[in-house]
Homo-oligomer: A and B are copies of this chain.
Amino acid sequence: MIRKTRLFTPGPTPLLPAAQFAMAAADIHHRTPEFRALYQRVLGQLKEFVGTNNDVIILSSSGTGAMEASVSNLTSPGDRVLVLTAGKFGERWSALAKAFGCEVDIVSAPYGQTFTLEAVKAALKLETRVVFMQANETSTGVRHDVEGVAKLLKQQKSEALLVVDAITGLGTSEFDMDKWGVDVLIGGSQKAVMIPPGLSYLAVSQHAWDRMESTYNPRYYFDLRKERKNAKSGESAYTPAVALIAALGAALDWVAAQADGNLEKGREKLVANAELIAEMTRAALTVLGFKLFNAVSPGAAATAVYAPEGVDSGIVVKELKSRFAAIITNGQGEMKGQIFRIAHLGFFDYLDTIALIGALEQVVVKSLPQLGVKFGDGLIAAQKVFAERTAK
């Protein structure tokens, strides 16, 4: 049978056709009025998409580049920082902070869980300069409480900056970084904005810009103040990934078009879309006999479930790929072989969702008979969720 390759992965996510066309057409030089107009337009769109009055910076790098920029621009060697971690990307904050000579305090929760605000409060010190966290831990599918941590820092009158990796959080959760007092919010291109990898972006508060005046960790390619200065004249400091910027502009046009040209409302629709798909998927997976790995605080970016006792989760990943060309992901880090993950962020609709659940049912009925599942079990659960949520 024909098998169309389809990504159900939490980045890269399926590409938006309008963005693909813009990318293919992006035959322009980056030191021209044409590019400057494009760049300023996209920077403006990103502010609306993030929902902030802060300046937004685009980097030609993966999301990790923007994470590094946050560390290298906002800390000096010997600075005490606090990392909140419950997964592979939390651990990346620790590794980055250590690489740049910081003294790293850690609040950690097991994979699949989230940390309590009490633990964060207990770990926060007077001299903590920055708190690093994820909005959504991609490796586990767990949503962390960004608003709660921000409130805590205010309550404690902490001088610490709050830096949030929202790479899979943007477009799957609502944020009000200006009101909450988040200092840096980081996004990536291959996530909810539906274009290929290669761009990251950061919204940066005045508090964070001020901090950069005194920090002295080495930075050159990721020098945020240089990028901010260049962006004022519509250029990037170094050669930008032009085609991806054109694609991002087209993708954000599309998001706006989902709500009569209102990009903020379009983003809200994107979040609601991911929430509904996540709910359909959770309902189906539960009935199919899988235990939710991210049950405590499930994010809408991706759902993670345990493989059955004694089964390598790679089997489900492999069978979905070989039989249906549907690409989901295994666990990362210490969870490899134990869980699998299905993404909901970005360009997915009802038909994508019900189709993947159908394919998953085929895999379970044939290859995991011990789960005692019969055809229809998962599909019916998902059908009912969709019908209930769209009834009004």
Binding site for B on A (CB under 8 A): 1-4, 6, 24, 258, 269-270, 272-273, 276, 323-326, 347-352, 354-356, 358-359, 361-362, 365-366, 375-376, 379-380, 382-384, 386-387, 390
Known: A355-B355, A358-B354, A380-B375. A347 touches B4 (CB 8 A): yes
Chain B residue numbers with a CB within 8 Å of A1 are 272-273, 276, 349-350, 390
Assembly CA distance A355 to B348 (angstroms): 12
Chain B residue numbers with a CB within 8 Å of A351 are 4, 6, 324, 326, 352, 355-356, 358-359
Chain B residue numbers with a CB within 8 Å of A361 are 383
Which one of B272, B323, B358 contacts A355 once the chains associate, using CB atoms below 8 Å?
A: B358
Assembly CA distance A384 to B323 (angstroms): 16
Copies of this chain held together in the complex: 2
Assembly CA distance A238 to B219 (angstroms): 62
14 new A-B contacts at CB < 8 Å, known A3-B349, A376-B376:
A1-B272, A2-B270, A2-B348, A2-B349, A4-B351, A4-B352, A6-B351, A355-B358, A358-B383, A362-B386, A375-B379, A375-B384, A376-B380, A379-B379
Shortest beta-carbon contacts, A-B, top 4: A354-B358, A351-B355, A355-B355, A376-B376
Min CB–CB distance A179 → chain B (angstroms): 28
Select from chain B the residue with minimum beta-carbon distance to A366.
Answer: B387
Chain B residue numbers with a CB within 8 Å of A383 are 358, 361-362, 365, 375-376, 379
Listed by A's residue number, 15 A-B pairs whose Cβ atoms lie within 8 Å are A1-B273, A2-B258, A2-B347, A4-B352, A24-B24, A325-B349, A350-B355, A351-B355, A352-B355, A358-B382, A362-B383, A366-B387, A375-B387, A376-B379, A379-B379
Judge whether B359 and A387 touch: CB under 8 Å.
no
Chain B residue numbers with a CB within 8 Å of A376 are 376, 379-380, 383
Min CB–CB distance A287 → chain B (angstroms): 11
Judge whether A350 and B324 touch: CB under 8 Å.
yes
Min CB–CB distance A321 → chain B (angstroms): 13
Min CB–CB distance A191 → chain B (angstroms): 15
Judge whether B365 and A359 touch: CB under 8 Å.
no
Chain B residue numbers with a CB within 8 Å of A382 are 358
Assembly CA distance A284 to B323 (angstroms): 21
Judge whether B354 and A359 touch: CB under 8 Å.
yes
Assembly CA distance A67 to B218 (angstroms): 73
Which of A2, A273, A347 gathers the greatest number of chain B CB atoms within 10 Å? Answer: A2
